[in-house]
A and B are shown apart, each in its own frame.
Chain A
Amino acid sequence: MTLKSSFGRRQWRASHPLNVRISHWVNVIAGTYLLVSGLHIFLDFPELYWGHTGYRGYPAIFKLEDWGLSWDEAGSLGNRMWGRNYHFTFAWVFLINGLIYVGWNLRTGHLQQQLWLNRDELRLDNLHRDLRQQVRWTLPRQTTTTEYGTLQKLSYLMLIFVFVPLMVLTGLAQSPGFTAAWPWLLDIFGGRQSARTLHSVGTILFIVFVILHILEVIRAGATNRIRSMFTGHLLISSSTSDIRRGGEMSSADT
């Protein structure tokens, strides 16, 4: 039995405010440029080290050579001048866009309303159930609500308030100019090369996030979800706004 037949109604519901939609697509562009330009920079020096010191010949903790791509092959793929120019440019786009997004939506309360976790959601059994459903791929298709799941909220909160600040700081910790102004950047990450390594690990986490995000969008109904990020309206299958995911609603897709 589907929700559509049990309620017999489908209607448009406001999902994302205009400023969220704009900042989302600016992020897509800036994030793509940051990723590609970052790879260009990395490929021109494809080794990672730990501590304050690292150069070709110094003990590395990661060498692309060990993974089948020689130094020269990597160098021919990467253009660090192009990479640096666009990395710093879109770092500013990303940063300013993010600050506007957070500031604006804290002010309107949209961020708190969508992402803040309540006491019930933070209960261990709820987190456990959410995780189990994620792993087993049995979450409902979310055709019934504009609200986010618990792990979804946690991921977005971690992304905005932990991951992005750490990527900015590990980026700045590689700069001779910014570390002269803020030498504590070198101390918190244990050195310039450690910061570069952590920045690279962060790049992999970012790729994982993007893949999971796209998979979740597909599962939740790609057309409906992607359209809503342009139009701001989600087509949902219920007239009752207070129905939440989980529990009895998990029969929606069965």
Chain B
Amino acid sequence: MKASFSNPIQFIQQHQISRRNMLSSIPALVGLFSSGCSRDTFIPPTIRTGLIGVADVLTMSANRFLLSDQPLAREYELSDIAPEFPTWGQTDPQDEEYQQLRSRGFRGWSLPVKGLVRRPTDFTLEQLKQMPARTQITAHVCEQGWSAIGQWTGVPLVQVLNAAGGIKPTARYVMLDTVDGWYEGIDLFEVMHPQTILAYSLNGQALPIGNGAPLRLRVERQCGYKNLKFLKSIQVVDSMASFGRGTGGINSDWGFHWFGGV
């Protein structure tokens, strides 16, 4: 197990994501530091200039150091679930194709998984729902300051990547994009985490439109702006330079930090 932590690619390919296995491994700091993934785990893909860039690196490094044994984010009780899970930002994309799919109850919708995977595949919603699912009651933490607890059900991202034949050894990031033109990249450290799921259900119901139907990302150890709604496609990449302004996400293109852990 220890070796797997030092090599997320191998980890993801090996498909070992049980919590018990996680806990039994000793924090693999030495492994993380000595392996090829160390830079991506501790340092953002692009470093901003000046003191802000230094702080970005310190924040990400400190957080990832403390997360090196991949703990789960806090999971809550059913009674903690927010009475009305808020919606924020985009709540109904006015994309023509999206609206057509929506009117058909998302029949015919599919998620292309492409890039550095062995078998690029389009997965229908039904296929994703047939994969091993995970249900988690977690807090959505918006970088604005609000937070709300909800119960999400979805398929771990690792499962989806494996269903596409697994990732190639040169893979470094997973870039997701949405029907309303958002794009965010997450690194393999976050991809391999068991709570990183593509959710199709909120509080036991089909994911509401306002919360990103039919499929959204849950990346529980990062702020709301990394938890993309209205997913359109997934691309495994070795560089995010070609997306937008090249910082690895639309929010970091605007000037927020790329690492959404704080």
Chain A residues in contact with chain B, CB under 8 A? Answer: 41-42, 44-45, 52-58, 80-81, 84-86, 88-89, 91-93, 174-183, 186, 192-193, 196
Contact = CB atoms under 8 A, between A and B. Distances in A.
Given A54-B146, A80-B143, A176 B58 contact: no
Interface in B144-161: 144-149
B25 to A, nearest CB: 16
B74 interface: yes
19 contacts: A45-B145, A53-B149, A55-B146, A57-B86, A84-B256, A85-B256, A85-B257, A88-B257, A89-B54, A92-B58, A176-B220, A176-B261, A177-B63, A178-B63, A180-B74, A181-B63, A181-B71, A192-B141, A193-B147
A57 B86 CA distance: 9
- Best-buried of A41, A174, A182 by chain B (most CB within 10 Å): A174
Contact of B221 (A42, A57, A84, A177): A177
Contacts of B83: 58
A interface secondary structure, majority: helix
B51 A89 contact: yes
B262 A178 contact: yes
A109 B63 CA distance: 33
Contact of A89 (B55, B82, B146, B222): B55
Given A88-B55, A176-B223, A53 B72 contact: no
Given A54-B148, A178-B63, A180-B71, 9 more contacts: A85-B256, A93-B51, A176-B261, A177-B222, A177-B259, A178-B66, A179-B74, A181-B63, A181-B67
Contacts of A84: 143, 256-257
A56 B146 contact: yes
A52 B59 CA distance: 23
Given A55-B146, A55-B147, A192-B147, A175 B262 contact: yes
B59 A181 contact: no
Those 9 A-B pairs whose CB atoms lie nearest each other, nearest first: A177-B261, A181-B66, A45-B145, A89-B55, A55-B146, A175-B262, A180-B73, A176-B141, A177-B63
Interface residues of B, number: 42
Given A81-B254, A182-B66, A88 B146 contact: no
Nearest to B145: A45
Nearest to B66: A181
A45 B54 CA distance: 27
A91 B55 CA distance: 9
Nearest to A93: B51
A91 B257 CA distance: 15
Contacts of A192: 139, 141, 147
Nearest to B75: A183
B33 interface: no
A92 B55 contact: yes
A229 B209 CA distance: 59
B71 A41 contact: no
B52 interface: yes
A176 B146 contact: no
B89 interface: no
Contact of A176 (B52, B55, B66, B139): B139
B52 A85 contact: yes
A52 B80 contact: yes
B132 interface: no
A174 B52 CA distance: 20
B23 to A, nearest CB: 14
A180 B218 CA distance: 14
Interface string B207-224: 000000000000011110
Contacts of A186: 74
Contacts of B58: 92
A34 B71 CA distance: 30
Contacts of B74: 179-180, 183, 186
A53 B143 contact: no
A193 B141 CA distance: 10
Nearest to A49: B146
B86 A176 contact: no
Interface in B207-262: 220-223, 254-257, 259-262
Interface in B64-94: 66-67, 71-74, 76, 80, 82-84, 86
B170 to A, nearest CB: 27
Nearest to A45: B145
A132 B72 CA distance: 53
Given A88-B55, A176-B220, A81 B76 contact: no
A85 B148 CA distance: 24
B117 to A, nearest CB: 27
Nearest to B76: A52
A188 B103 CA distance: 47
